[in-house]
Structure 1
Amino acid sequence: MTSFQVWGLPGLPEIQPGDDLTAAIAAAATANGLPGLADGDVLLVTSKIVSKAEGRIIPADDREAAIDAETVRLVARRGRTRIVENRQGLVMAAAGVDASNTAPGTMLLLPQDPDASARALRDGLRRRTGAEVAVVVTDTFGRPWRNGLTDVAIGAAGLAVLDDHRGRIDSHGNLLVMTETAIADELAAAGDLAKGKTAGVPVAVVRGLARVTTTDDGPGARTLIRSAADDMFRLGTSEALRQAVTLRRTVREFTDEPVDGDAVRRAVAAAVTAPAPHHTTPWRFVLLETEAVRNKLLDAMLDAWRADLRELDGWDEQRIARRTRRGDVLRNAPYLVVPCLVADGSHDYPDKRRGAAEREMFVVAMGAAVQNLLVALTGEGYGSAWVSSTMFCRDTVRAALDLPAGWDAMGAVAVGHPAAAPAQRPVRSADNFVTVR
């Protein structure tokens, strides 16, 4: 059974910009009867003293500007509290800009490159003490879904920061396929128990775990940062919604990859949360999941379109053929949704003006539901296109899909995996669409 010791290094002086941090740590390691450093030890160094030595100190009144400068991506915001991704790739509150354990009127930024800081400390301690130690630069993090703070590794050198169990067999003979242990974070948390948050002990030593140290510096704590492609929780709620709205684009070309009907049903569940008049539920969504049904509808609509062009517009057959030969986004999509308006519960006004307004309220509710559907489909990873054509031949749609007389098709939504990334959307300023009175 593995056992190890953890102790703090008290007595370090207040670190100032430009101080030799390795000299201060080496001296503290042998003061007060402590045993000094030995090969295989792991040194856990609070990032604040590294930041002080590197001159990462700013006036406190520059906090918001500093957070802005250190931020590369907003993850979540609640009031004035921001969770962001900072320049070091860490997702944390306020980009790591911190006013604790620093002189009044000042704030600390994180080290510019915590892994480089850990390598420099390791090299300096080797030269001063002759000991081959690992170094972990730590900082305090909150954690999603868990109350309380803990120290984690933001920089590392000479340490196997991850212990990859994938491919190993557990004690019951099961193959492990996902397990990776964050050794560096576990050490950081253990060291924090010895350092304490308010005891003024910024460095701790772990002895007895030489098996997790390495002869070279290794890849550093950057390895612990999950890639964007693997991050299932990359955004906070409001930011995820905002991004889904921003990323929602009309997609007109799809791959042949099938669409998950359960994902569409989840999008419909979002759609029916839209506001509606008189506490009604005026939405129905017809899901066309088979190619045969899609073709039946689209063939009937094509026949109706040709008849309109011939009988209402007076076009000849050659011109009709040219017009209807164009590619059809609905026919090329692997999945269709036909949203229908059902005006049950609407008020019957003899006055035409009020009757028209009543109808418009239900149409607006339908539009809100369709927007919810499109945004939710984007969140599910699908592209979509809302096409109006079913509105021009509602009787045809009802007949082809065997729908009740009161169901009015409000376009059709093509759903699928985009065949290519959509073109960049031009930036639209809200100011161009706002009138203030």
Structure 2
Amino acid sequence: MSAERTSYRVWAVPGLPEVREGDDLAKLIVGAEPALADGDVLLVTSKIVSKAEGRIIAADSREAAIDAETVRVVARRGPLRIVENRQGLIMAAAGVDASNTPAGTVLLLPRDPDASARVIRDGVRDALGVEVGVVVTDTFGRPWRSGLTDVAIGAAGVRVLDDLRGGTDAYGNPLSATIVATADELAAAGDLVKGKAEGLPVAVVRGLPHVVHGDAEDAGARALVRGAADDMFRLGTSEAVREAVTQRRTVRDFTDEPVDGGAVRRAVAAAVTAPAPHHTTPWRFVLLESESARLRLLDAMRDAWIADLRADGKSEESIAKRVRRGDVLRRAPYLVVPCLVMDGAHDYGHARRDAAEREMFVVAMGAGVQNFLVALAGERLGSAWVSSTMFCREVVREVLELPEGWDPMGAVAVGRAAAAPAERAGRDAEGFLLVR
């Protein structure tokens, strides 16, 4: 280990006055700590940044302020909400704080914490001629861990992430996934001396000059926020199941990326938890994992469909247009054919009751397919349910060598979406309700 990493010093800055809107934080900090040096890191509590930037607002209800700052609810338990806020941070109550602020007001986070950090860094440079790093900190809880800690929500002049991938450990083993959240480690170190109630909102770390750098490398603390595509827990708790349902979209264009068969099997495991009549299990899912199997089925279905349309007197132009609609299945790297089986169905010997019995099984099949589609969305897989196999069941059974009692109930195209789906038009639930 190099000498520059073996030790450091951290201390809180005493003597800062109460911060008010319009105050120059850099000037206040330099006045309280005039001996700042090149390579120091300032750890600045977000509360005083928000106060200086006038982020105190009148609010009769903290909940209304949280609503206004929330982009997406991630989880909810009673009055507690974990949300994604306007800054892209996942945190409790969107960072809206009703402590250390006058009654009837709440404190919002800085609009752009990285920009706030840059202003402080530049102000210190202008006043003292030294290059420091600045980290704007806030207090977070963490999934699977009790207790709170400070993390970085804004940064300037600081290497926020230390990417060790491509290096080796002490035993020569390659490091392939190690990226250290340096800015968060600095924030936590500062919190040890600032405390939560001591009125010491700024700390200094000295002795780690390797974490301070110039503007050319400045990514800011936003680089610490994991993107949606890499977030394995974006649809985490039971509350987020609702979001999985609402975020599911029909995907019609896919990339060539292979589909993980294990992910599809996990989605099937979710599908077969759907309700069904008489303690039956009426779902079967045929997985078409090979291209040859997919093409063999789709070619046979296309031929049967064209024959039916010609028998109905459709024009060749009309037939071509209808066939093109089914091309979504050809564009997918993976197909699933859900099938209904009526094992366990009651035979009443009465046309009306027997028809109702089948409807119960069909509803159970629909519930299973919906579970399947939502679970695929949770696996970050796009899907499109297409009804086509229902119109040529005999052909599907023959090509896939299925038992006579298996009724194909459409097909599901599965793959990685080639582009982000279009936003769905909002639907007001009240328009679908009839209350008696």
Deviations 1:336-394 (A, max 9, x none): 32222222222232343332222211110011111222222333344433333433443
Instruction: Work out whether residues 274 and 367 of structure 2, in 8 Å CA contact, stay in contact via their aligned partners in 1.
Output: yes
Q: How many angstroms does 1:101 deviate by?
A: 2.6
Aligned residue pairs: how many? 428
Q: Residue 404 of structure 1 aligns to which amino acid in structure 2?
A: P
Residue in structure 2 matched with residue 367 of structure 1 by the alignment: 366
CA apart distance, 1:215: 5.3
User: Is residue 2:242 matched to residue 1:233?
Assistant: no
2:98 match: secondary structure: coil
Q: 1:309 touches 1:320 (CA, 8 Å); kept in 2?
A: no
How far apart, CA to CA, are the structure 2 residues paired with 1:350 and 1:225? 62
CA distance in 2, matches of 1:163, 1:95: 27
**253 and 143 in structure 1: CA distance in 2 versus 1, 3 angstrom threshold:** closer
Q: How does 1:179-218 map to 2 (within 5 A)?
A: 179-214=178-213, 218=218
Quick check: 125-134 or 374-383, which moved more? 125-134
Partner of 1:33: none
Structure 1 residue 207, shift from structure 2 partner: 2.3
CA distance in 2, matches of 1:132, 1:297: 67
Gaps of 5+ in 2: none
Q: Does 1:5 align with 2:9?
A: yes
Q: CA deviation at 1:307?
A: 6.6
Alpha-carbon distance between aligned partners in 2 of 1:87 and 1:307, rounded to the nearest angstrom: 55
SS at match of 2:63: helix
- Give a deviation string over 1:5-48, Cα, whole Å, max 9, x none: 22223343332323444444344437xxxxx4344332222111
Whole-angstrom distance in 2 between the partners of 1:223 and 1:393: 52
Residue in structure 1 matching 2:19, options 15, 32, 40: 15
Query: 2: distance between equivalents of 1:59 and 1:248?
Result: 38
Larger radius of gyration: 1
Cross-structure match for 2:275: 275
Greater shift, 284-293 or 295-304, is seen at 295-304
Aligned AA (1:52): K
Give the letter for the 1:387 counterpart.
Answer: V
Deviations 1:196-226 (A, max 9, x none): 1122222222222233223559443233333
Give percent identity, aligned residues only.
72
- Local SS of the residue matching 2:370: helix
Look up the match of 1:101. Answer: 100
Larger deviation: 339-348 or 380-389? Answer: 380-389
Distance 1:216 1:430, change over 3 A: closer
Cα distance, 1:427–1:147 mapped onto 2, change above 3 Å = same
Aligned Cα root-mean-square deviation (Å)? 3.3
Offset at residue 57 of structure 1 (A) = 1.3
Is 1:81 aligned with 2:85? no
Distance 1:408 1:81 in 2: 46
1:163 counterpart = 2:162: yes
Kindly provide the CA deviation profile for residues 127-170 of structure 1, in whole angstroms up to 9, marking residues without a partner as x.
55565433322111112222211111222233222223233333
1:27-426 equivalent positions in 2, closer than 5 A: 27-29=31-33, 36-128=35-127, 131-214=130-213, 218-237=218-237, 241-252=241-252, 254=254, 257-298=257-298, 301=301, 323=319, 326-327=323-324, 328-329=326-327, 330=329, 333-418=332-417, 425-426=424-425
1:253/1:191 CA distance change after superposition, 3 Å: closer
Shift of residue 274, structure 1, vs aligned partner: 0.8
- The amino acid that maps onto 2:349 is P
Give the gaps of 5 or more residues in structure 1: 31-35
Distance change >3 Å, CA 434–CA 53, structure 1 → 2 = same
Distance in 2 of aligned mates of 1:284 and 1:386: 15
Cα distance in structure 1, aligned partners of 2:253 and 2:164: 42
**Cα separation, 2, equivalents of 1:436 and 1:117:** 52
* Amino acid in structure 2 at the alignment position of 1:326: V
Give the secondary structure class of the aligned counterpart of 1:326. helix
Q: Would you say the 8 A contact 2:121–2:134 is kept in 1?
A: yes
Secondary structure of 2:22's aligned partner: coil
User: Offset of 1:63 from its aligned partner?
Assistant: 2.1
- Conservation of the 8 A alpha-carbon contact between 2:235 and 2:378: no
Alpha carbons 2:309, 2:319 under 8 Å: kept: no
Displacement of 1:191 in angstroms is 0.9
Q: TM-score, normalised by structure 1?
A: 0.84
Q: Provide closer, same or farther for how the CA distance between residues 278 and 224 of structure 1 changes in structure 2, counting only shifts above 3 A.
A: same
Alignment CA distance shift 1:170-1:56 (3 Å): same
| Matches of 1:153 and 1:432, distance apart in 2 | 44
Residues 136, 184 of structure 1: 8 Å contact kept: yes
SS in 2 for 1:101: coil
Q: Is the 8 A contact 1:306 1:320 kept in 2?
A: no
